[in-house]
Structure 1
Amino acid sequence: MLSFTFGGKNSFQDFGIFVASRPHIPSPERRVTYIDVPGMDSRLRRDEGTYGDITLSVECSFLGDPVPKISAVKGWLLGAGEADLTFSHIPGRKYRAQVVNSIDFEIVLKITSHFVILFNCQPFQYATDNAPIVVTDGSGYVLSNPGTVKSLPNIKITGSGAGALTVNGGNVSFSNIDGTVTLDSTIQETYQDTGTSLISKNSTKIGNYSVLLPGDNAISFSGGITSLEITPNWRWL
């Protein structure tokens, strides 16, 4: 029996809801702008290299009497906001999703136990196992990206003073490492996590935020850097 997990709760185990049929998984649309130029054949293309969100339509049914569970289900689905979404038939992958349809669950479910949930999802599937990878050899490390698109890693750097990180030939230098500093490519920020607050370290960094391409990625570091802790954030279309 197919089910899904959203916001830390499983549809079947917690609410008796099962997925009636496997949802269609659409491909995200790549953001490309086309410009007509007088006197020029074809059109100019401006490829942003990014993708739009996708919508998953999930047909569900209740096992047993749904009426006592309606309020709890609405609170779960609509109250979770944007959260991790996994399906039992897609192991090892997750979406970042939010329920967006304004369906009145209470009215519908008093008539029938069949209903549809619309999830607005970020364009990629992510790995459910996103454990950090520790690198202590600064002379050279190869990290293989199993995904189909580049990933935006979170790299926690340990060391002191000045140092440099190199990923696939791209250098990022740091002028004043004091214990640890985090290079977060997802939000394009550099900061130090004290455990109670985040302190901006953008002014200590020179260079572009690192990305991990599909396949092998060469990583090295030098200077005052002693180790890396890489949370890879693998992604698939």
Structure 2
Amino acid sequence: MVNLDNVSIAKYNLSLADRPPIPTPEQDVEHKEIRGRHGSLTKKYAFKDIEYKLTFNFLDDNGFKQAFRTAKLAFFNAKKLSFDDDPGIYYKIKSLVIDDADNDVEEYGQFEVTFTLDPFAYQETSTQTITAATTLNNPGYESEPYIKAYVAGNGNIYVGGQMIAITNINGTIEIDTALMNAYRVENGLITNLNSHMVGNFPVLPHGQTKISFDGAISKLEIDPRWRWI
């Protein structure tokens, strides 16, 4: 069964017409032929968005048209797509297109939705509090973590071989690699703190990564955001 933002499509009296395929992103790869060189020069870049089509059926005594309107609201508002047979994993919905519905019988309808998904399958993760050096084990593809540091001045965060210097912070700083942004959220207000961070936004490669900190940093809260291709 398909879920939109963790809500089953059965709530909208919908079902899948067929068992869904398992999506895999395409990597942007450049092959350049060089005269006199055996084989091509290959450069690998980022993964592309996934175009993913699903066909949905509706059958209910109350009629299709109003149910279709209600279902479309749910689809266009949804941020996550997940499946009952793959618990703990979801895809981020970037956009979608809903084709015209077939409605030859009043109680029955069928329509196709084409999703544009972020390239990765994300694992549901929770925030971990780190008060001393620790090691995180990434089971999947390179991830883009969220880190919240508690600081009373200056300090450094070490993520494997990466170092991030934090300067002149009294309170917290939130480092979001996916957003490429350093900030603080307090009482609903967002303060830009990029000028208080020196270094690249950290990533967690596949496998083990040691996390530590020093200086006036007392603890870190990390959501590793594990993801898969």
TM-score by length of 1: 0.88
Secondary structure of 1:109's match?
Answer: strand
Q: By how many angstroms is 1:68 displaced?
A: 3.5
Secondary structure of 1:119's match?
Answer: strand
**Whose strand proportion is higher, 1 or 2?**
2
Cα distance in 2, alignment partners of residues 145 and 195 from structure 1: 33
Decide which of 40, 50, 54 is 1:54's aligned counterpart.
50
Structure 2 residue runs of 5 or longer lacking an equivalent are none
TM-score by length of 2: 0.90
Structure 1 runs, 4 residues or longer, greater than 6 Å off: none
Decide which of 72, 76, 85 is 2:70's aligned counterpart.
72
Q: Is the 8 A contact 1:25 1:56 kept in 2?
A: no
**Deviations along 1:178-203, whole A, 9 cap, x unmatched?**
20001111111111222322211111
Give the corresponding residue for 1:150: 142
Structure 1 residue runs of 5 or longer lacking an equivalent are none
Identity rate, percent: 29
**Deviations along 1:146-169, whole A, 9 cap, x unmatched?**
22x011001000021110000112
State the superposition RMSD in angstroms.
Answer: 1.8
Give the corresponding residue for 2:154: 162
Cα distance in 2, alignment partners of residues 63 and 163 from structure 1: 60
Secondary structure of 2:80's match?
Answer: strand
Cα distance in 2, alignment partners of residues 195 and 32 from structure 1: 45
Secondary structure of 2:18's match?
Answer: coil
Tell me whether 1:23 sits opposite 2:20 in the alignment: yes
Give the corresponding residue for 2:130: 135
What letter is aligned with 1:101?
V
Decide which of 106, 109, 112 is 1:113's aligned counterpart.
109
Range with bigger deviation, 92-101 or 165-174: 92-101
How many residues are aligned here?
A: 225
Cα distance in 2, alignment partners of residues 153 and 160 from structure 1: 22
Q: Is the 8 A contact 1:80 1:98 kept in 2?
A: no
Tell me whether 1:36 sits opposite 2:28 in the alignment: no
Q: By how many angstroms is 1:8 displaced?
A: 5.2
What letter is aligned with 1:188?
M
Give the corresponding residue for 1:190: 182
What letter is aligned with 1:143?
L
